């Protein structure tokens, strides 16, 4: 047997795991996760969900993800409750599993709840004994329909990132909100929303070189103040540590990535005062007068067209509400001789879809600058392992018929209709021979 000197037990700040980010806007990065962080996640969620020994958690999420592999598992094991594991998510068999296994809790992420809503009615969907669902990514248009149809007593929505320095929790059940910071915790968790340049994705600075907070109700990038970088990250990232890392507030720790440069890019310095440091979330949030935060979208998902900022999530929600549209992904594409990026949408359609009616509905729902100029009709949309749309390949292929075998359409504003985008029309677009 190894002696204590030969096999030292891990310390709180020692590295426990590498968890890779989802890679929705770039390549996945290996986030450093210490034993302290694993314990915090497990115990925080055990407390917020009030886990009891008789609870049974349904977990059909990827085990390599922080929610499926740590939060959903650790929160119940910390209280002596049970974990029901399914190898992968199945919308068709979800309610059968939950009812059969007598689950009282389940974790969701991304679009999982919306996929359940899109399924045909199942007699089992209201025979469950669930008392709470916990997760992130449940948008307001889905929230109430999800609770009403499936008779869900309580939703615990939150905002967090594997590597983030702060988290937000919506314990009050405010529909659509990702959480707020109670006044009694404001001194421990300092979060701000700052103005950013949507083209460069860089925070805007004033004449004094400081960042500026957004006005009430305005979307801005969420940043969280960080203290000394934890020991688990220091050895890997090479970022200098000042002070006692162990004394940093729990919500103010940033353990970084395995890649030194990736860690440095996430730290914003001299934000409101010389020498301060803040973690960049890369997410746009807004805050209401009551202090609740609402997720808007990823910073890179906003693009500028005709002098206006276009929100891909807002456009996608409008398109998905049109008759005959099963799913939609919205993104910006470059058009030669124009400024900004034009809107493009990849659509998954029902057999009943009517292109003319769709155009009329979009014109009614969206201002002209936000309406997609290009359509791509696809059989399905690619998702990440965490149920988020993966748009990188769609953006790279754009609207070039030479690269895309799916049907392509262009919104000919002069003719007032969508027309097939063939190689001839594509060449005309490239030389500026078409009015946009």
Reported as a pLDDT band with limits 50, 70 and 90, residue 25 is low
- The pLDDT value recorded for residue 296 is 87
- The pLDDT value recorded for residue 193 is 96
- The pLDDT value recorded for residue 369 is 92
- The pLDDT value recorded for residue 250 is 41
Residue 387 has pLDDT above 80, yes or no: no
Quick one: angle between helices 312-320 and 355-365, nearest 10?
130
The SS3 assignment for 24 reads coil
DSSP letters along 327-393, please? Answer: EEEEEEE--TTSSB-EEEEEEEE-TT--HHHHHHHHHHHS-GGGS-SEEEE-S---B-TTS-B--HH
- The pLDDT value recorded for residue 231 is 40
Q: Quick one: average pLDDT of 216-221?
A: 92
Q: Quick one: average pLDDT of 206-217?
A: 94
Reported as a pLDDT band with limits 50, 70 and 90, residue 2 is confident
> Measuring CA to CA, how many Å separate 270 from each of 30, 221, 222, 273, 305?
26, 16, 16, 5, 31
- The pLDDT value recorded for residue 313 is 84
Per-residue pLDDT tens digits for 305-351: 887 888 888 899 899 999 999 999 999 998 998 888 899 999 999 99
- The pLDDT value recorded for residue 16 is 94
- The pLDDT value recorded for residue 92 is 93
Closest CA to 17 of 64, 61, 85: 64
- The pLDDT value recorded for residue 72 is 96
Q: Quick one: average pLDDT of 164-185?
A: 92
Tell me what percent of the residues of the chain surpass a pLDDT of 70: 93
Average pLDDT of the residues of the chain: 88
- The pLDDT value recorded for residue 197 is 86
DSSP code for 289: T
DSSP code for 322: S
- The pLDDT value recorded for residue 348 is 95
Q: Quick one: average pLDDT of 168-183?
A: 94
Per-residue pLDDT tens digits for 29-41: 899 999 999 999 9
Per-residue pLDDT tens digits for 93-141: 999 999 999 999 999 987 899 889 989 999 999 999 999 999 998 988 8
Residue 88 has pLDDT above 60, yes or no: yes
Q: Quick one: average pLDDT of 186-215?
A: 90
- The pLDDT value recorded for residue 235 is 39
Closest CA to 30 of 228, 225, 261, 229: 261
Reported as a pLDDT band with limits 50, 70 and 90, residue 246 is very low
More confident residue, 401 or 299: 401
């Amino acid at each position: 047997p190894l002696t204590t000197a030969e096999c030292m037990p891990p310390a709180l700040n020692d590295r426990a795991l590498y968890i890779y980010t989802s890679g929705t806007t770039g390549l996945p990065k290996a986030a450093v996760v210490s034993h302290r962080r694993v314990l915090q996640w497990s115990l925080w969620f055990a407390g917020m969900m009030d886990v009891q020994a008789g609870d049974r958690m349904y977990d059909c999420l990827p085990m390599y993800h922080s929610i499926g592999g740590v939060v959903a598992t650790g929160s119940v094991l910390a209280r002596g409750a049970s974990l029901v594991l399914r190898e992968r998510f199945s919308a068709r068999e979800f309610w059968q599993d939950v009812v059969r296994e007598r689950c009282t809790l389940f974790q969701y992420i991304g679009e999982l709840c919306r996929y359940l809503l899109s399924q045909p009615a199942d007699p089992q969907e209201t025979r469950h004994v669930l008392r709470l669902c916990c997760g992130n990514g449940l948008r307001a248009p889905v929230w109430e329909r999800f609770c009403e149809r499936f008779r869900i007593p309580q939703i615990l929505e939150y905002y967090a990132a594997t590597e983030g320095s702060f988290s937000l929790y919506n314990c009050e059940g405010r529909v659509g909100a990702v959480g707020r910071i109670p006044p009694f915790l404001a001194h421990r968790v300092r979060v701000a929303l700052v103005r950013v340049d949507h083209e460069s994705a860089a925070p805007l600075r004033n004449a004094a070189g400081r960042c500026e907070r957004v006005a009430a109700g305005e979307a801005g990038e969420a940043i969280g103040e960080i203290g000394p970088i934890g020991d688990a990250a220091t050895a890997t990232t090479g970022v200098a540590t000042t002070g006692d890392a162990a004394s940093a507030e729990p919500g103010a720790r940033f353990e970084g990535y395995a890649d030194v440069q990736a860690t440095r890019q996430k730290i914003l310095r001299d934000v409101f005062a010389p020498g301060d440091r803040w973690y960049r979330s890369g997410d746009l949030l807004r805050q209401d007068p009551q202090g609740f935060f609402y997720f808007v979208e990823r910073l890179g998902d906003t693009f500028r067209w005709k002098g206006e900022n276009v929100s891909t999530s807002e456009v996608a929600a409008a398109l998905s509400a049109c008759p005959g549209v099963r799913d939609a992904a919205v993104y910006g594409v470059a058009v030669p001789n124009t400024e900004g990026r034009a809107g493009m949408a990849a659509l998954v359609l029902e057999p009943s879809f009517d292109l003319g009616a769709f155009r009329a509905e979009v014109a009614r729902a969206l201002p002209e600058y936000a309406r997609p100029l290009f359509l791509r009709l696809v059989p399905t949309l690619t998702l990440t392992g965490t149920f988020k749309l993966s748009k990188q390949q769609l953006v790279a292929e754009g609207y070039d018929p030479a690269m895309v075998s799916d049907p392509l359409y262009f919104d000919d504003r002069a003719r007032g209709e969508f027309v097939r985008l063939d190689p001839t029309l594509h060449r005309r677009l490239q030389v500026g021979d078409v009015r946009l």
